[in-house]
Amino acid sequence: MDKTEILDNVIEVANKWLVGNYDQATKDAVKELLEQDDKTALIDSFYKDLEFGTGGLRGKMGPGTNRMNIYTVGAATQGLANYLNKSFPEKEQISVCIGYDCRNNSKLFSDTVANIFSANGIKAYIFEDLRPTPEMSFAIRHLGCQSGVIITASHNPKEYNGYKAYWEDGSQLVPPHDKNVINEVKAVKVEDIKFEGNPDLIEVLGADMDKLYLDTVKTLSLSPEAIQNQKDLKIVFTPLHGTTVKLVPDSLANFGFENVIHIPEQDVVDGNFPTVWSANPEEPEALKMAVDKADEIDADLVMACDPDGDRLGISVKNDKGEWEIINGNQTALIFTYYLIKRRRELGLLTGNDYVVKTIVTTELFKDVAEKNNVECFDAYTGFKWIADVMRKNPDKNYVGGGEESFGYMPGDFTRDKDAVSACSVMAEIAAWAKDQGKNLFDILKEIYIEYGFSKEKMIYIVREGLQGSQEIAQMMHDYRYNTPKEINGSPVVLVKDYTTRKATNPITGEATDLDFETTADVLQIYLEDGTKISVRPSGTEPKIKYYFEVREDLPSLEEFYATEEKANKKVEGIIDSLKLN
């Protein structure tokens, strides 16, 4: 389809919004888009329907089929309601749980969702105020719901909002449910959406659910004596204007920590995120205010959560006395190392234990597990796939699961990454380390000495709109069918293509099957020197992402910084070789 055909199609779709069952403010906004000489905004708003990706429905807010508004949210909810009623015909009362975060329009969208579900005869449990995503996942399981929705765009810019749909086990939708729901949504016309709710089928959740959740989080504690010894550990915490403003401090107190320092400006719940450029704990800038406070008071640990409370960013002092952000791979390593080590010491490993990581997460994660006789599963990016592994292994003992993008789930009572639990356990690890005269940076170096050194870096390229999505598709095509023979001077020895689920040796042409039931648009390139490069389009943002992992020998702690510098130079050489600067 050429640009003229695309524009003609967009104008046809947009004109339907001028005469359909839409409110007047929406019609006025669409008319304004149609009248603009530059049709870029019009095309971006209408050239496609929002689709479920790795994180569900997500997009910029505004009028249009490709925007978050009460009509796209309404269609998604009506479609999900239709699917639930078809999927559970014998269920006397189907129920769902609904949560929302701090973003602009999140309360409006969540109320819209509750009304539509109730209008379709489905009981809707809705939180009284904003709550972290993992608590909503917990509530689905605790209440025996068949589904759930949380309104959030995680760490995206303030212009975005989103809609994550969950199934009865508390995880986000996976096949066949995701595709089936999309098909139901596509069949919904605006006049089909039942916006008028039934108050008798809407129940508000509050403090009682909070207590149940926090008491369950506390069962993860493995070193209460260390916390008692280090209860004055100086912890600086920021929710970055989001949902963990209350629950993380409450959980830390529940574990026994008595010295949590706040950043008052960032405790303010605000979807405009006024103190940060990006409310993403992966970004050093997001932690700046907390790190400055930590430096001022000589704190032990800095922790930050993203707006919906599923990601955790931490910063600790290195042995040069400088505050250093621990990346998501390193955080996952520390969690996995600690949970396995302490469970083994306490006799809690059963011999049938496992952890889960995503395919773009460091391979050192797997090394730590397998050298301790703990099985490690690989999963696609997104915690719904970690939950899928858990669903398929009910008789095994889950220890923990994580990904490189600052997400970890240390307990099996949720089915999504859980920053409330992660903050609580990470604070415990810091207390356990301090009880031994160490900090988290020391623990990380001990892991490297015992299991090998790994350095990871992720970069991304943003390509907005229709043209951007086409460029990203072309880039993936080129990597797939014109794979370099060598990168940064090291030969390519293995290529894993998850669209075909094949691992191919480009030298011999030998191919083997990858043990995955579904496909994903991910390509991984392995080099002779141990480097792993992963490339994939984001499922929720207009980005193509590159994940680099290089391995080096680390003979002693004295050589840590020299080894790290050598690895950094190798990563930069790879980026230069791929012309990504």
Residues marked active site are found at 154
Nearest-angstrom CA–CA distance, 193 and 76? 9
Residues 6+ apart with CB under 8 A from 508: none
**Backbone φ/ψ region at 240: left (φ over 0), alpha (ψ -120 to 50), beta:** left
Structural contact between residues 447 and 453, judged by C-beta atoms closer than 8 angstroms: no
In one-letter notation, the amino acid at residue 67 is: R
What is the longest distance spanned by two Cα atoms in the chain? Answer: 72
Nearest-angstrom CA–CA distance, 530 and 218? 39
Q: Which helix (H) or strand (E) holds 262?
A: strand 260-262
Nearest-angstrom CA–CA distance, 488 and 527? 9
List the structure tokens of 138: 């917990």
Identify the sign of the CA torsion 414, 50, 305, 441: positive
Three-class DSSP labels, 180-204: HHHHHHHCCCHHHCCCCCCHHHEEE
Q: Is beta strand 123-127 parallel, antiparallel or unpaired with respect to 202-205?
A: parallel
List the structure tokens of 203: 């129940």
For 174, other C-beta atoms within 10 Å of its C-beta total 19
Q: What angle do CA 423, 428, 429 make, to 5 degrees?
A: 100
Closest CA to 258 of 230, 294, 237: 230
Structural contact between residues 540 and 548, judged by C-beta atoms closer than 8 angstroms: no
List the structure tokens of 535: 């490339």
List the structure tokens of 51: 């689709």
CA distances from 1 to 4, 47, 86, 159, 179 (A): 8, 12, 36, 29, 25
Closest CA to 308 of 385, 216, 245, 236: 245
Q: Which helix (H) or strand (E) holds 389?
A: helix 383-392
Q: Which helix (H) or strand (E) holds 113?
A: helix 106-119
Nearest-angstrom CA–CA distance, 17 and 568? 52
List the structure tokens of 490: 């090291």
Nearest-angstrom CA–CA distance, 532 and 534? 7
In one-letter notation, the amino acid at residue 549 is: E
408: DSSP letter: E
Q: Where are the alpha helices (DSSP H) in 298-381?
A: 328-345, 364-370
| Residue corresponding to tokens 């479920």 | 52
In one-letter notation, the amino acid at residue 195 is: F
- Upstream peptide bond of 176 is cis (omega within 30 degrees of 0): yes
Structural contact between residues 67 and 59, judged by C-beta atoms closer than 8 angstroms: yes
For 554, other C-beta atoms within 10 Å of its C-beta total 21
